[in-house]
A and B are shown apart, each in its own frame.
Chain A
Amino acid sequence: MTPSSVATLGLVLLAAPALPGIAGRTKSFLTGRRGAPVLQLYRDLAKLARKGAVLSETTTAVFRAAPLVGLLTSLLAALLLPFDGRSPVAGFSGDLLLFAGLLALGRFVLVLAALDTGSSFEGMGASREAGFAAFTEPALFLCLLALVLATGELSLGGILGTPLAVAWSAGGPPLVMVGIALFIILLAEGSRVPVDDPATHLELTMIHEVMVLDHSGPDLGLILYGGALKLAVFAALVVGVMVPRTGVSAPVSAAILLAGLVVVAVVVGLVESVMARLRLDRVPQLLVAASALAAFAAILLLR
């Protein structure tokens, strides 16, 4: 833990809600609409924080705890990433599994909360979320494995530093493949097009949105912020892999990261503008493609 790592983490926590806004703005710009302001999510969060809540009679404590668990797990996972390009707030050898485990815990509890409402729509969302995660998870693991093979390091903090820069100079193509696979995972985990559509209005076609239909007030705020943070964490992972920052001062590194997050958000918006979401039974194919890409990269990196 260094002052700069904590400061950059703070910056990312502050900037996270802007990412969905940037993606949305890109989409509206390209489709010739004015669209919601970039900072809309901040306003939504501020409004939700002041509100009361409506709780379904069917629900139990799981439903109430889930938004909190979802946010906290994303937050703790963020502690493992070296946002300033040097060191994470916390990290140890083998923390890759903790990273995946924490995100899985958040998903587990959110899925349970959806089933807790006894609504058929939310059960549907829960089923899809858990089902698609079974395809994203191996892809994520394969990406991490490829990075381990590329750098010989066993922790996120170790991988995303100088060793990765060395690996880039040794050969870029496999790392580009890992970056693309991670971006697909980001689209799935962040519930974006072509896996999920955050702007859809029909419950039948939703995945993440329909899971959280019954949450309201501060709880919904926690879910929205947790989702934005998860998106930021994966975006930072993509940036960390694609732009290894070594030999630059901490402020420059932080600036590069923030610029990278904006670029990722714009690309997410671009993807949403040029393609429709996939049919639900086609989504696994996309995610398996991400797995295949990462596995390919790992094989290339075996040397």
Chain B
Amino acid sequence: MTLFFAGLALILAGGAGAVILRSRPRLGDALFVLLVMSGAVVSAVPALRVLAGGRVENVQLAAAVPGGPWVFGLDALSAFFALVFLGVGAASAVYGAAYLRDERPHRPVAFGHLLVAILLVSLALVVTAQAAVAFLSAWELMALSAYLLVVFESERAEVRRAGLIYLVATHTGTLALFVLFALWGVHAPDLTFASLAAAAPALPRAGAVVLLLGLAGFGVKAGFVPLHFWLPGAHAASPSHVSALMSGLVIKTGIYGLLRLVALTGAPPAWWGWTVLTLGLLSGVLGVLWALAQHDLKRLLAYHSVENIGIILLGLGVGALGSAYHVPAVAVLGYAGAALHVMNHALFKSLLFLGAGAVGKATGTRQIDRLGGLARAMPVTWVLFLVASAAIVGLPPLNGFVSEWVVFQALLRGGVTTSPLRLAIFGAAGLGLIGALALACFAKVCGVIFLGRARTPLARAPREAPAGLLAPMVVLAVACGFIGLLPVVVVGPALRAGAAVAGVPDAGTLGGVGDVMASVRWIAWSAAALVVTLGAGWMLRAAVLRRRPVRSGPTWGCGYALTSARMQYTASSFAAPLLEAYGPLAGVEAERGPATFATHAHDPVLDGVLERAWGGLQALAARLRPLERGRLSNGLFYVLTTVIVLLAYLVVAARPL
């Protein structure tokens, strides 16, 4: 654990160094990049040791606050999340150093770096804290540093609004967590996780209240439907590397919280599992549907986070059901699939956001329909973006396929049991629907932004992103491909983390789990076969066409000679038939004029429900206003009435103080 903290200290030192050396930006940036990377590597060592089956001693700090000592420790679950957070976090931070370089004249860039360092450290603390007060402190540190990063470009009104909504949402969630631990702590001697776990059997109604509070509190952070309302705005408003951190990592702490909650309470009741599974389906389908409707690249990617949280919840839900119905193999596979998808989503989603940042920097716009044909100007960015897109859609031979496959295994293996658990198999059909919608959405994004011809003239000709932006993206893309080709490397640790959540000591001996480990080899083989045959076929095609006449000409216009780039299908027209089929669910408003047509995407939860509810609340509050006009006599009257009511209550209740 000392080594782990030493690494975190290095990361913090990197942030501090950037601030101290802000008058010499080149040196400061270099120091920041170097220290963050080395800190991540140092901290990764003990985490890797745990995932390899070793043990790391807990650290216990006798804090002078209520709730018992502050304990930090690394079990398989913590280690898995910590590795993801450190690896992807470091890549995003390095990208940030290059991304913010030209913002120096008008923004406190060095403080942005410090905040990123603080955010990374607080993320690592959240997943290693083994006591409630330490956990909540780290949680709050994370929420606040993330807020400050979201409003980094605070001169824009929409950024301030998104930041405010995020702040309100995250604190509402934290409130639920406070209540959760307070209610739980009543039954335990102190608030360390060990004591809480020991007290779990004493919870009334099998911990129903605690589990529901956890679902609400962690759910706001994770951002599943209908608690996702803060997410698209906050992710779209922040600088791209912060979006990557938010979407790739911060929302995953909600998933970590749920997994940790399950690990502490033991097998959750079946209704909780069904709730999570249903929320996962809802989130997955609606998330991708709303993503299809977006015109802003970063908002679109943010809605895909909602979708992927849905897939993660499918795994978590079926895992919880496996625990509830005493099918340990399904439990382990479900939790492991959730954990693995957390890792994979962190990799490809941050890559997508970083790619979106590179596109935004090169073109000055995030509006998909204004772009086109960027593949020629930005070939490297294009290939990286394509890899991430194929990964997020869940296509072989990339990492997204691997984790969806593990979740799929859990759902199918639940289906062939004889308990009510077998109904969970229908979740797999949801996985199919989500995958197909995501395919449509990313075909649209890739095709419209990078392929075809430029739709509108841009302020300046787009150029390939600089190496400082590309290098961290290459690392993330290589990780996506590596996991796709050699899934054995990550499936093992994920199963270990899943077993830690399910409380199964030796998961490898469970029939289903062993079977999955054996089948993972086949995934690797099929991925290799795909890559090799594709390479061979490509060379064969080139060899054949070398001896044939190959001409190039304009695209066939079906007999029409005067085609223009504006005639190309746009993102809106591409998605329109599909969205129309889903009707009002899709959240699209069409605006038809005599010669114009425009569609606007709105969020059915935020704009449809919350804004209206908030408006109603404000109207009610306005009607209460006459009660309080600042008159002293009124105030005295209220105080007196309150005292009398309280006294009357005491008399009636006959309980003297």
Contacts and interface: CB of A to CB of B under 8 A. Distances in A.
Interface of A: 51-60, 62, 64-65, 68-69, 71-73, 75-76, 90-98, 100-102, 104-105, 107-108, 111-112, 114-124, 126-128, 130-131, 133-138, 140-142, 145, 148-149, 152, 154, 203, 213-214, 217-219, 280-281, 284, 291, 295, 298, 302
A111 B447 contact: yes
Given A57-B553, A120-B568, A145 B429 contact: yes
B574 A127 contact: yes
B437 to A, nearest CB: 5
A41 to B, nearest CB: 20
Nearest 6 CB-CB pairs, A to B?
A123-B569, A115-B447, A141-B432, A137-B436, A118-B452, A52-B549
B437 A134 contact: yes
Interface in B565-592: 565, 567-569, 573-578, 580-581
A112 B422 CA distance: 38
Nearest to B454: A118
Interface in B450-470: 451-453
Contacts of B510: none
B39 to A, nearest CB: 37
Nearest to B433: A138
13 contacts: A54-B551, A72-B533, A92-B519, A108-B442, A108-B443, A115-B446, A117-B555, A119-B558, A123-B573, A126-B569, A127-B574, A141-B431, A298-B426
A29 to B, nearest CB: 32
Interface in B410-439: 412-413, 415-416, 422-423, 425-426, 428-433, 435-437, 439
Contacts of A291: 429
B429 A138 contact: yes
B443 A130 contact: yes
Interface centre among B394, B433, B555, B576 (most CB of A within 10 A): B555
Contacts of A59: 555
Contact of A56 (B373, B519, B554): B554
B555 A119 contact: yes
Contacts of A58: 373, 452-453, 554-555
B579 to A, nearest CB: 9
B552 interface: yes
Contact of A213 (B442, B522, B556): B556
A97 B405 contact: yes
Contact of B396 (A53, A90, A101, A119): A101
Interface of B: 372-373, 375-376, 386, 390, 393-396, 401, 404-405, 408-409, 412-413, 415-416, 422-423, 425-426, 428-433, 435-437, 439-440, 442-444, 446-448, 451-453, 515-516, 518-519, 521-523, 525-526, 529-530, 533-534, 537-538, 541, 544-545, 548-558, 563, 565, 567-569, 573-578, 580-581
Given A98-B523, A145-B426, A214-B556, 16 more contacts: A52-B545, A65-B534, A92-B518, A93-B515, A93-B519, A105-B390, A115-B451, A116-B451, A126-B569, A130-B439, A138-B430, A140-B432, A145-B425, A148-B416, A284-B581, A295-B426
A interface, over-half SS: helix
A127 B396 contact: no
Nearest to A125: B569
B416 A94 contact: no
Contacts of A213: 556, 558
B568 A149 contact: no
A93 B553 contact: no
A118 B373 CA distance: 9
B416 A130 contact: no
A212 to B, nearest CB: 11
Nearest to B432: A141
A242 B413 CA distance: 25
B interface, over-half SS: helix
A119 B557 contact: yes
B51 to A, nearest CB: 23
Nearest to A110: B443
A190 to B, nearest CB: 17
Contacts of B423: 302
Contacts of B554: 56-58
Given A148-B425, A214-B556, A62 B443 contact: no
Interface centre among A72, A102, A130, A152 (most CB of B within 10 A): A130
B577 A72 contact: no
B122 to A, nearest CB: 36
A93 to B, nearest CB: 5
B431 to A, nearest CB: 7
Contacts of A56: 552-556
Contacts of A62: 375, 386, 451
Nearest to B573: A127
Contacts of A145: 412, 415, 425-426, 428-429
A154 B405 contact: no
Contacts of B440: 130-131, 133-134
Contacts of A115: 443, 446-448, 451-452, 569, 574
A121 B534 CA distance: 28
Nearest to A106: B395
A302 B422 contact: yes
A97 B574 CA distance: 27
Contacts of B375: 60, 62
A231 B180 CA distance: 55
Contacts of A219: 541
Contacts of B573: 123, 127
A76 B550 contact: no
Contacts of A93: 409, 515-516, 519
Contact of A141 (B386, B405, B429, B550): B429
Contacts of B569: 115, 120, 123-124, 126-127
B443 A112 contact: yes
A218 B546 CA distance: 12
Nearest to B447: A115
Contacts of B522: 90-92, 95
Nearest to B537: A68
A54 B552 contact: yes
B576 to A, nearest CB: 8
Nearest to A62: B451
Contacts of A130: 439-440, 443-444, 574, 578
Contact of A101 (B395, B446, B518, B519): B395
A149 B425 contact: yes
Contacts of B530: 72-73, 76, 102, 105
Contacts of B580: 281
B528 to A, nearest CB: 11
A211 to B, nearest CB: 11
B552 A55 contact: yes
Given A94-B409, A97-B408, A101-B395, A218 B415 contact: no
Contacts of A217: 545, 548
A60 B449 CA distance: 13
B121 to A, nearest CB: 38
Contacts of B447: 111-112, 114-116, 123, 126
Contacts of A128: 577
A219 B538 CA distance: 11
Nearest to A58: B555
Given A127-B573, A130-B578, A98 B451 contact: no
A218 B541 contact: yes
B556 A119 contact: yes
Given A58-B373, A90-B525, A94-B412, A52 B550 contact: yes
A209 to B, nearest CB: 12
Contacts of B430: 138
